[in-house]
Structure 1
Amino acid sequence: MTKFALAIHGGCGVMAKLDLSEAEWIAARRDLGRALKAGYAVLKRGGNAIDAVQAAVVVMEDSPHFNAGHGAALNENAIHELDASIMDGKTLAAGAICASRRIRNPVLAARAVLEHGDMVMLAGPAADRFAEARGLAVEEQAYFTTERRKQSLAAMKAHVAAGTQLAASESEKHGTVGAVALDQHGHLAAATSTGGYNNKPDGRIGDSPVIGAGTYARDGVCAVSGTGKGEFFIRHVVGHEVAARMAYLGEDVRTASAKVIIEDMKPHNIGAGLVAVDADGTVAAPYNTDGMFRGWVTEEGDFYVASHSEVMALTGD
């Protein structure tokens, strides 16, 4: 039996501290803790890494505080289009859905695609029909909408009208949730889910459902889930790049992750972050913005969550 580990993120570019009330910050950190505990419960009883990351992401999809599922971003037409993926490092099996408008928990649909086995990705109405046919919960668009997302969409449209979109805060632009895990059997897995970025073009697909970009897992190397401007994560194939640096250059997970997020993304002047875990249970969580919602738990049951530079220890109860 090997050690086990779990790390999650709720998106980089978290809001300036004054943008939310203390009660809202507490609620967001509470939901990070709930996500960690859901995934940890799977790992502690000897469950699989892929089940752990799925459990953690479902909690964040159900929370209004993150850009996935309930609380997802709105596109240019004020429509939610949801993306998600999941990958099993043991077999390299993967599943993804993109541009869904109705799936309550996109990560569950991605898992169903993985288990179906005939494809890796399903898009748009076909993804919605696939999920519904397999008994997954579907919702009307109103379920996903929160007042904060409406405000963010209005803010981004105002930036576009004024030609100041480059000055928009990271929180006005995008966000993602994700999880990575190592289980007691030595297997790795990763999952990512998002609503994309606020005011995104109709039909735009980011990196979150793209295997090797926003999500990647390979046993013996690492599992990665990213957050940031997806177009650049796709171009740099970020998840696979971290794994490749480890496998071919011999870099450790923290060095490889920091190289990609801090150095490779720097010329593009875009917000980026990720969580990763290696085959020994070492966790990395680099980001180049003011903050990143993130958390991790050790096999001893020590829970930690953070939004900015401060890290808060939680009880394992």
Structure 2
Amino acid sequence: MHLNELNLPTTAHGRVNHGPTLVIHGGVGTILRTSFPREEQEQYLEALRTSLRDGFRILESGGTAIDAVEAAVRYMEDSPFFNAGKGAVYTIGGNIELEASIMDGSNHRASACTLLHHIRNPITLARTMLTTKPPVPHVFLGGAQAEAFARDKELEFVEQGYFYTEKRWKQHIEGLEYPPSNSESKGTVYGKSVPRDHDPNPMGTVGAVAVDREGNIATATSTGGRNNKWDGRIGDTPLIGSGTWAENATCGVSGTGNGEFFIRYAVCHDVASRMRYLGESVQEAAATVVEGLRKVEGEGGVVAVDRYGEVAMPFNSPGMYRGYIRADMEPQVFIFGDD
């Protein structure tokens, strides 16, 4: 069925406006059907559905995009299935270090936090930085000062043991024997290569992008980083323009993958720039940028949405946990490239 047959509202330029829309990702990497039991697949898919429902419930009731993306990401931070919050990966020193960012496309305001060890929900810390009164005079806080701010705002603190999952600890131990498989990292720590079908260094960043009834766009992204990253390493997730971007005039974008490439190529901002300067659609812009990553051996993907609710979810790896939802539809969730 052609979209116009659904009697959706259109803009003055004849574009279909899908209305409030939410799109999420739960990480990208070597995710293969052959080594992924169906019952485990369904657990991940149901977690994605729940995240979408949590966020879209807000949009459906007339709430803001910024509220919706916080809610969707917060659920994934609390889920042991994703590399953010409860299910985060470990640093090479055996620690959990979390980071997150959020951006409001209606006014270009953004907040980010990193090097967190005890904050249960980093995305809520980022959101609190964005909306607290009096306003925080900085976009980016890290480490002890970020946690001091969180304590002052009475956000929830947890011990490091809260974040433990058996799966992530096993990946940490395996990763001490096998360094990251990406060519960017070979030989930097232990000098060993890793088979392509055995990647103990998953890239499980979570993210959400939404557009609300007013046409305002927001993006939220959260992660535990890359398995066995150096302690103190900061990735693309809290860097505005690299792992997170939102502006009403073009789109919102959240990235997942090898953060070093996302930083160097300003991936999320680049998607919006292609729309702004080349007039590309959100699907064209996102696909081109992700394909550009492939050419420099950068693994990853993005989810994006424009002000009309058009969705893009390209990636260049075997799989990416992802999904989207609009009014009068069930959550659409996917894992593999041929889904």
Q: What is the TM-score when the length of structure 2 is the normalising length?
A: 0.88
Which of 152, 159, 167 is the matching residue for 1:133?
Answer: 152
Q: Please state whether the residue corresponding to 1:6 is helix, strand or coil.
A: strand
Written as runs of structure 1 = structure 2, the 5 A alignment for 1:40-189 is 40-115=56-131, 116-160=135-179, 161=190, 163-165=192-194, 167=196, 169=198, 172-189=201-218
Q: 1:271 — aligned with what?
A: 299
Conserved? CA contact 2:31–2:320, under 8 Å: no
AA matched with 1:221: T
Query: Which stretch of structure 1 is more off in the superposition, 220-229 or 6-15?
Result: 6-15
Partner-residue secondary structure (3-state), 2:264: helix
**Aligned length, in residue pairs:** 310
d(CA) in 1 for partners of 2:170 and 2:332? 30
Counterparts of 2:158 and 2:90, CA distance in 1: 15
8 Å CA contact retained: 1:86, 1:96: yes
Quick check: 1:13–1:171 contact (8 Å CA) kept in 2? no
Q: Is the 8 A contact 1:156 1:165 kept in 2?
A: no
Q: Is 2:31–2:336's contact at 8 Å kept on the other side of the alignment? A: no
Report how far residue 118 of structure 1 moved.
1.0
- Secondary structure, aligned partner of 1:307: strand
Query: How many percent of aligned residue pairs carry the same amino acid?
Result: 44
**Conserved in 2, the CA contact under 8 Å of 1:74 and 1:153?**
yes
> 207-216 or 292-301, which moves further after superposition?
292-301
Could you tell me which amino acid in structure 2 is paired with residue 147 of structure 1? E
Among 228, 248, 254, the residue aligned to 2:277: 248
1:202 corresponds to which letter in structure 2?
D
- Whether the 8 Å CA contact 1:12–1:170 is kept in 2: the answer is no
3-state SS, counterpart of residue 70 of structure 1: helix
Using the TM superposition, give the Cα deviation of residue 17 of structure 1 relative to its aligned residue in structure 2, in angstroms. Answer: 2.8
The structure in which a higher percent of residues are helix is 1
- One-letter amino acid of the counterpart of residue 224, structure 2: G
Paired residue secondary structure (2:154): coil
Unaligned 5+ segments in structure 2 are 1-8, 10-16, 180-189
- Partner Cα distance (1:166, 1:274) in 2: 25
CA shift, 1:129, in A, is 1.6
Helix, strand or coil for the counterpart of 2:111? strand
- Over residues 273-295 of structure 1, what are the superposed CA-to-partner deviations in whole Å (9 max), with x where a residue is unaligned? 01000111100000000000001
Deviations 1:29-51 (A, max 9, x none): 11100000001100001110000
Matched, 1:294 2:322: yes
Judged with a 3 Å threshold, the aligned counterparts in structure 2 of structure 1 residues 227 and 166 are, in CA distance, closer, same or farther, namely: farther
Gaps of 5+ in 1: 312-317
Cross-structure match for 1:4? 20
Q: TM-score, normalised by structure 1?
A: 0.94
Deviation at 1:310? 5.2
Name 1:221's counterpart in structure 2. Answer: 250
Instruction: Give RMSD over aligned pairs.
Output: 1.6
Aligned twin of 2:13 = none
CA distance in 2, matches of 1:145, 1:20: 22
What residue number does 1:314 align with?
none
Q: Distance in 1 between matches of 2:148 and 2:195?
A: 37
